[in-house]
A and B are shown apart, each in its own frame.
Chain A
Amino acid sequence: DQQVKQNSPSLSVQEGRISILNCDYTNSMFDYFLWYKKYPAEGPTFLISISSIKDKNEDGRFTVFLNKSAKHLSLHIVPSQPGDSAVYFCAAKGARAAGNKLTFGGGTRVLVKP
């Protein structure tokens, strides 16, 4: 039962352009959504989060949009830089009753071409 899905396994974008990563979820009880970035041979590192009561959160070049009615969120990176080449994971946090557990999507590999 995949509660968090990232349907695009990979994305290639030119340096300076926008990268858009998508994530869908099924459980309406998630109260926070997070994006993590992972380089090879390293652990995932936290990038940005959004509360379920918001529809947008911005941090520098990174913006996350949440559409609760569609159970969909997206991460926009603009402008994309070669150092952004990594695997990006969407994660959703369950409510307290669910142990505040983080459930991850399968990841999207981003390649930014110089």
Chain B
Amino acid sequence: EAGVAQSPRYKIIEKRQSVAFWCNPISGHATLYWYQQILGQGPKLLIQFQNNGVVDDSQLPKDRFSAERLKGVDSTLKIQPAKLEDSAVYLCASSFGVSGANVLTFGAGSRLTVL
């Protein structure tokens, strides 16, 4: 089974520039998540999709972050304009459903450095 694919793996930008991250979940996984992991902290949920609908985006800074999941498969996360505090690893994860323990499978992440 192919894993969760993410790109790019690394990105360095200047503050106020924009950046986009792409995620392709495991085939058949209806639920897709974007997490932000700042160095030394645990992952924090930014947004959760069920198919192509948003389930939870309560912690997404909507003035600068946006995400979409067209056709209920792959997803993009955009930051515009970026701030220094956005430097983090952006993890995409997917799961088949949300019942039981809801085990998420994570991608390797996209590391963003904002200078």
Residues of A within 8 A of B (CB): 4, 6, 9, 32, 34, 36, 41-46, 49, 51, 89, 91, 93, 96, 99-107
Known A-B contacts A43-B109, A44-B91; the reply to A102 vs B42 at CB < 8 A is: no
A42 to B89, CA, bound (A): 10
- Among B42, B56, B98, B103, point to the contact of A107 (Cβ < 8 A): B42
Query: What are 6 sample pairs from A and B whose C-beta atoms fall under 8 A apart?
Result: A41-B108, A42-B108, A49-B103, A51-B101, A100-B99, A104-B43
A9 to B41, CA, bound (A): 10
Q: Is there an interface contact between B45 and A43, defined as CB atoms closer than 8 Å?
A: no
Residues of B within 8 A of A (CB): 4, 33, 35, 40-45, 48, 55-56, 91, 93, 98-109
Point out which of B4, B33, B56, B104 has the most chain A C-beta atoms below 10 A from its C-beta.
B104
- Among B4, B48, B100, point to the contact of A32 (Cβ < 8 A): B100
Known A-B contacts: A34-B103, A41-B109, A102-B102. Give 15 more (CB < 8 A).
A4-B42, A6-B42, A32-B101, A43-B93, A43-B108, A44-B91, A44-B106, A46-B105, A51-B101, A89-B42, A96-B98, A99-B48, A100-B99, A106-B41, A107-B42
Q: Is there an interface contact between B105 and A102, defined as CB atoms closer than 8 Å?
A: no
Q: Which residue of B lies closest to A87 (CB)?
A: B42
- Among B43, B44, B55, point to the contact of A44 (Cβ < 8 A): B43
CB neighbours (8 Å) of B98 from chain A are 96, 99-100
Q: Is there an interface contact between B103 and A43, defined as CB atoms closer than 8 Å?
A: no
CB neighbours (8 Å) of B35 from chain A are 104
Q: Which residue of A lies closest to B100 (CB)?
A: A32
- Among B40, B93, B101, point to the contact of A93 (Cβ < 8 A): B101
Q: 8 nearest interchain CB pairs? A: A43-B106, A104-B42, A100-B98, A49-B101, A32-B101, A99-B56, A106-B42, A104-B43
Q: Which residue of A lies closest to B98 (CB)?
A: A100
Q: Nearest Cβ distance between residue B15 and chain A, in whole angstroms?
A: 25
Q: Which residue of B lies closest to A4 (CB)?
A: B42
CB neighbours (8 Å) of A96 from chain B are 98
